[in-house]
Amino acid sequence: MSEARIITLPPGGMLLGLGSDLIDVDRIAGVLERQGDRFLNRVFTDEERAYCFSMKYPHKHLAARFAAKEAVSKAFTTGIGAELGWKSISVYHGSRHEPLVRLDEKGEGLLKQVGGTSVLLTLSHTDTAAMAVAAIVKAV
């Protein structure tokens, strides 16, 4: 089962940045096998880890969130690094189970710097791959 939704701009909104990422689920499983909690604690928030490990196949959900963080960082054109860390970007679910992005202080500062008002996100995964597309938008 995939997590997917249509990304729509707010009426009169402006697209400021777009990023995408695709990752093999086995890659995340392999890193987790080699690095374990060190990887989990460095990349994912407590909320993300709790959600993923509450699911029957946590690797698919971890991979989707990893792809989301990469996609958001690409939309900002910074990548993951000094300006935006792994935990600067957190994925959670809205009332309709749609994926939403929560940014930390660094991320919010970067969002304001580029003139954005929000980050839209869509996720999808299969047994073998996960992908994400993120858009930085400005509501007008």
SS3 95: coil
Q: Using CA atoms, how far apart are residues 35 and 55, in angstroms rounded to an integer?
A: 21
Residue 114, H or E segment: none
User: Helices (H) and strands (E) in the chain — how many of each?
Assistant: 5, 5
Is 21 labeled as ligand-binding?
A: yes
DSSP state of 60: H
SS3 49: helix
List, as residue ranges, the binding site for Mg(2+). 21, 70
List, as residue ranges, the binding site. 21, 70
